[in-house]
Amino acid sequence: MKRTSTLAILTLLSILLASCSISTDDPFPTPAPTVTAVPTLLADALSVGKLLARVETAWPSVQSMRTTFWSTEAADGGTPPATGMVTVEEVVLPASRRVVVLSDGMPTDEQIAVDGRIYMKGALVPAAIAPLVNAETWVEVDPAAASTDSPVAMQVSYLLSAIVSPFSSISPETAGQEAIAIGEVIIGDRTCQGYTFGDAGGILYELTLDERNLPCRLVQKAGASANVTVYDFNIAGLAIAAPDVATPPAD
């Protein structure tokens, strides 16, 4: 029973890592074909690279950001589902980060990085960090003790990584694709401009930008399934602080 629980939590961590939208990894992964040619576009065509350059130009105006990620089979992908897994990540620049994983609307895991220190609570703690600590207790994780073979090493590394623009790293193949304008798209209470493009693996992307050229939503579609990330910026009153009480650093 314990082994099953641990495997489930490690699977959860894997999904969490994949859902973190502020990673420096390419958010538009391209399969590894034998030969991938950068497409040649018409002179007046808008490339994905030029589109995302607008986001890079707008990024210095960002003081805080919230991303909400989920997977869905719904056609619109407009709002997070009431059931299933949703990952919410908040950052306050320059270096504070909080990640919360929700299952059926209830928080199951939470991680905080602030002032170079890491705090965690939730199902992952007794399963992979401190077996004698319950899931409601905050634990401070020593980054130096999270060795490469630790089940939380990748997450600790991510939590401490630099906070950068969501699309700061893309492949030349993706950057060279044409971004096709699809007009206005309503995301919550925002009217955003939509663009769509594909990749060599048959994945279709829909990216919407607000009037500042910051992203509203990214939808990654493959068949009937979609991964959805909704972005909010400069959230009034958003603050990330260490918990008042935390169990000392765990090995």
DSSP letter for each residue of 18-87? HH-TT-SS-SS-----S--PPPPPPTTPPBHHHHHHHHHHHGGG-SEEEEEEEEE--SS--S--SSSEEE
Could you read off the pLDDT of 49-91 as tens digits, one per residue? 999 999 999 999 999 999 999 998 865 656 788 888 999 999 9
Highest mean pLDDT among 51-55, 131-135, 171-175, 225-229: 51-55
List CB contacts of 114: < 8 A, sequence separation 6 or more. 95, 96, 97, 240, 241, 242
**Statement: residue 23 has pLDDT above 80:** no
Query: Whole-angstrom Cα distance, residue 155 to residue 141?
Result: 11
Please choose, from the candidates 196, 241, 189, 188, the residue with its C-alpha nearest in 3D space to the C-alpha of residue 218.
196
Q: Contact at 8 Å (CB) between 71 and 227?
A: yes
Main-chain dihedrals φ then ψ at residue 247, nearest 5 degrees: -60, 140
- What domains are there in the chain, each with its CATH number? 2-250 (2.50.20.20)
pLDDT at 202 (0 to 100): 83
Please give the average per-residue pLDDT across 226-239, as a whole number.
96
Length of the chain equals 251
Q: Contact at 8 Å (CB) between 120 and 129?
A: yes
Could you read off the pLDDT of 88-130 as tens digits, one per residue? 999 999 999 999 999 999 999 999 999 999 999 998 888 888 8
Query: Whole-angstrom Cα distance, residue 197 to residue 206?
Result: 7
